[in-house]
Amino acid sequence: MSLELVAHGEPAVYLTFPSLAEVGLPHATTTRHCPGIASFSEPISPQAPKPPFRAEAASTLANAGLAMHRVSYARQVHGADAGRAPEGGGFAGLVDILTTTERGVPLAIFTADCLAIVLYDPVARVLGLAHVGWRGTVRGTTQAAVRSVCERGGVASRLRVAIAPSIGPCCYEVDEPVTAEFERVFGQRWTGWGAPAGNGHVMLDLWAANEALLRGAGVAPASIDNPRLCTACHPELLYSYRKGNRGRLVTLAALP
């Protein structure tokens, strides 16, 4: 099952998933039209962290039910470590997975081609967000995200999971150093997640790979919502690092 994203505004400033809205989870994925989001030229510093949002973003995202003065965020490092959102929000460290059991604390993941994955157990009321690129895929970030939510009381088979807009196999061409890592970690299984593109290159399907890893971690296939919206195919709406964009999309969610 994969549901459509719903755009908010004209032009759309953020997108939401009906599958998450139906269980009452405040959330949003921003577009390139959302004001007040820090660009890649304004990195999150671990020495002097400050929220990478300006007042315009807080005002806009309040319409999605997100209290941005409590937002929790991290400096993402393409790893598989998880951090717990500080009480009341704030900087969570150098991690690629954020979790919380505190109501009203938005978790924020920044992307511009990588996957942002939302994981929510509506019974245990545990929330996790993860940043997963090709490095995160081979390093086990997706499985670690499921494990981190379950360590806080969630149950994998109950999770509602959504994969935000990210680069698709139509546009994600990789070469031998990447495919070698996939073969090292996954053996020949990985060949089902890519199509030959010539000259030893492959069109890699990170969506298929991470959907498979989620299922392997115990998530019900019908509970994985992936609209398969490619960032590189939609420059009018989304940022794509592969297309030379310096902006960032942000996927956020908060426990109701």
Tell me, what's the pLDDT at 126? 98
Residue 161 token pair: 């999971």
Strands 173-174 and 224-225: unpaired
Tell me, what's the pLDDT at 6? 85
Tell me, what's the pLDDT at 91? 93
Distance set, CA 111 to CA 116, 167, 184, 241 (Å): 7, 10, 26, 9
Write the pLDDT tens digit of every residue in 93-114: 999 999 999 999 999 999 999 9
How does pLDDT run along the chain (256 residues), one tens digit per residue? 445 688 898 899 999 999 999 999 999 999 999 999 876 555 556 555 777 899 999 999 999 999 999 999 999 999 999 999 999 999 999 999 999 999 999 999 999 999 999 999 999 999 999 999 999 999 999 999 999 999 999 999 999 999 999 999 999 999 999 999 999 999 999 999 999 998 999 999 999 999 999 999 999 999 999 999 999 999 999 999 999 988 999 999 999 9
**In DSSP terms, which residues pair with 109 in a beta bridge?**
251
- The per-residue DSSP string of the chain comes to --PPPEEETTTTSEEE-HHHHTTT--EEEE-TT-TTB--TTSPPPSSS---SB-HHHHHHHGGGT--GGG-EE----SS--EEEPPTT-EE--S-SEEEE-SBT--EEEEESSSEEEEEEETTTTEEEEEEE-HHHHHHTHHHHHHHHHHHTT--GGG-EEEE-SB--TTT-EE-HHHHHHHHHHHGGGGGGGEEEEETTEEEE-HHHHHHHHHHHTT--GGGEE----BTTT-TTT---GGGT----EEEEE-B-
Q: State the CATH class of domain 6-168+207-253.
A: alpha beta
Tell me, what's the pLDDT at 9? 86
